A and B are shown apart, each in its own frame.
Chain A
């Protein structure tokens, strides 16, 4: 398997109908990093991910030497007529005929995200958290070199959200995929990230970066954790007021 070994470099801007949404976002992502992008609602975080995924036109440059990109959406975007298992197999099925080995892999991944026994369930029969797990399984079945996550836990209740965060980190620690995770929750970013990129409000720029040097599993109530939260918050506030 071709690994993602290059450093990814982004330097982009974006306008909608002559109106600048992204002034200039530029940052680097090292292989195996878990980068969280934090910013206020409407600052173009989602647009940034869509641009990286190739769903949107942009100005500037993205240096990324892979086509294997996994995307996890804020709304789960599962196909309602497919079962959990069939949804996970979707990215495989659009490329080739699904074989027995693919089904085995999909089952294994569903087990990995805690959905063993739910393979035959339709999305409407699953809870919000379970649907997001299926969405995550669908993104990792293609063994992506980079995983893009767009506020995937935003619509979940606090407890489910924390549980999902913990499980995501366990998964990430297993195979150290490169992740770009967009969120407006500072708590979530500090809990997950190896590095946080803070964006200013529209038209957005990078306000600053914060490297998180905390051992895992991280304790949300520790003073160091809160110190990092303060740091990120200051960056967000500073740029909002200026």
Chain B
């Protein structure tokens, strides 16, 4: 705990020092903090929304995109890890798409979804989907593949069917991989949504908020407040998953 406080204090001291010496042309930490607290509940006039509202907009996009990703990646990862033939079939197409950064999809995504009424929202959810899908898939697959062969053999000795082996042995073995896949997927999804929001008129969202604050005249305090909010939410999402992990993996 003491080191945690020291860690944050170091950042603040360096920030103060850099600004006061004159190497960093930014407002001081306590000035940003004041703005941050003000914007937390009170709407910022240009967009007419406070930080909580922007956060909720971003979170809805991230949660929709990444939950669709998890819904597909988890079963696929388990099947790929369990059966080499499934892996052989899917892995090539996956390896073709995986190296393309989700952000590189942004222009194409806006074109693909242009025909829909809520095209911006859909494109953004799609970008998050891409960001969350691959890490979750790979992590799940790795753990499914690493299922203890001795346990599978034990199940076979008791005449377990393939379906039982999958349900009783392979899936439980994959759960740690699923959880870390969800954690990484949410993290990357959160990063991609902010970027995706910067590139379109989203109306709301933390990325959009930061971009607009920049465009209306470099309002640094607002920009840093938005960034702080992104960091805070990212941190909290991670903590929630870690908490869930501790609950779910009591046997470890």
A residues bordering B, Cβ < 8 Å?
53-55, 67, 69, 71, 73, 75, 77, 79-82, 90-91, 93-95, 122-124, 142
Question: Which residues of the partner chain A approach B252 to less than 8 Å between Cβ atoms?
Answer: 80, 124
B153 lies within 8 A of A55 (CB): yes
Residue B201 interfacial (CB < 8 Å): no
A122 lies within 8 A of B153 (CB): no
B residues bordering A, Cβ < 8 Å?
150-151, 153-161, 164, 168-169, 172, 175, 250-252
A30 to B160, alpha carbons, bound, how many Å? 27
Question: Which residues of the partner chain A approach B161 to less than 8 Å between Cβ atoms?
Answer: 94
Question: Which residues of the partner chain A approach B155 to less than 8 Å between Cβ atoms?
Answer: 90, 94
Given contacts A79-B172, A94-B160, A94-B161, contact A71 B251 (CB under 8 A): no
Given contacts A67-B159, A94-B155, contact A122 B150 (CB under 8 A): no
- Sampled A-B contacts (12; CB under 8 Å): A54-B157, A55-B153, A73-B154, A77-B150, A77-B153, A79-B168, A82-B251, A90-B158, A94-B159, A95-B159, A122-B251, A123-B251
Q: Report the nearest B residue to A79, measured CB to CB.
A: B151
Residue in A53, A55, A79, A124 whose Cβ sees the most chain B Cβ within 10 Å: A79
A80 to B168, alpha carbons, bound, how many Å? 11
Question: Which residues of the partner chain A approach B150 to less than 8 Å between Cβ atoms?
Answer: 73, 75, 77
Question: Which residues of the partner chain A approach B151 to less than 8 Å between Cβ atoms?
Answer: 77, 79
Q: Report the nearest A residue to B250, measured CB to CB.
A: A122
Minimum Cβ distance to chain A for residue B249 (Å): 8
B156 lies within 8 A of A55 (CB): yes
Question: Which residues of the partner chain A approach B175 to less than 8 Å between Cβ atoms?
Answer: 81
The 7 closest A-B pairs by CB, nearest first: A94-B164, A77-B154, A71-B157, A91-B158, A94-B160, A81-B251, A122-B251
Minimum Cβ distance to chain A for residue B28 (Å): 51
Minimum Cβ distance to chain A for residue B146 (Å): 13
A83 to B156, alpha carbons, bound, how many Å? 20
Minimum Cβ distance to chain B for residue A89 (Å): 11
Q: Report the nearest A residue to B249, measured CB to CB.
A: A81
Q: Report the nearest A residue to B248, measured CB to CB.
A: A81
Question: Which residues of the partner chain B approach A71 to less than 8 Å between Cβ atoms?
Answer: 154, 157-158
A93 to B158, alpha carbons, bound, how many Å? 11
A142 lies within 8 A of B251 (CB): no
Q: Which of B156, B157, B169, B250 contacts A79 (CB 8 A)?
A: B169
Minimum Cβ distance to chain A for residue B61 (Å): 34
Question: Which residues of the partner chain A approach B157 to less than 8 Å between Cβ atoms?
Answer: 53-55, 69, 71
Question: Which residues of the partner chain B approach A94 to less than 8 Å between Cβ atoms?
Answer: 155, 158-161, 164, 168
Q: Report the nearest A residue to B169, measured CB to CB.
A: A79
Question: Which residues of the partner chain A approach B251 to less than 8 Å between Cβ atoms?
Answer: 80-82, 122-124
Question: Which residues of the partner chain B approach A95 to less than 8 Å between Cβ atoms?
Answer: 159
B156 lies within 8 A of A90 (CB): no
Residue in B154, B156, B251 whose Cβ sees the most chain A Cβ within 10 Å: B154
Question: Which residues of the partner chain B approach A77 to less than 8 Å between Cβ atoms?
Answer: 150-151, 153-154
A75 to B154, alpha carbons, bound, how many Å? 10
Question: Which residues of the partner chain B approach A123 to less than 8 Å between Cβ atoms?
Answer: 251
Question: Which residues of the partner chain A approach B160 to less than 8 Å between Cβ atoms?
Answer: 94
Given A73-B150, A94-B160, 11 more pairs with CB closer than 8 A: A54-B157, A67-B159, A77-B150, A77-B154, A79-B172, A82-B251, A90-B158, A94-B158, A94-B159, A123-B251, A124-B252
Minimum Cβ distance to chain B for residue A78 (Å): 9
A90 to B156, alpha carbons, bound, how many Å? 12
Question: Which residues of the partner chain A approach B159 to less than 8 Å between Cβ atoms?
Answer: 67, 94-95
A186 to B156, alpha carbons, bound, how many Å? 30
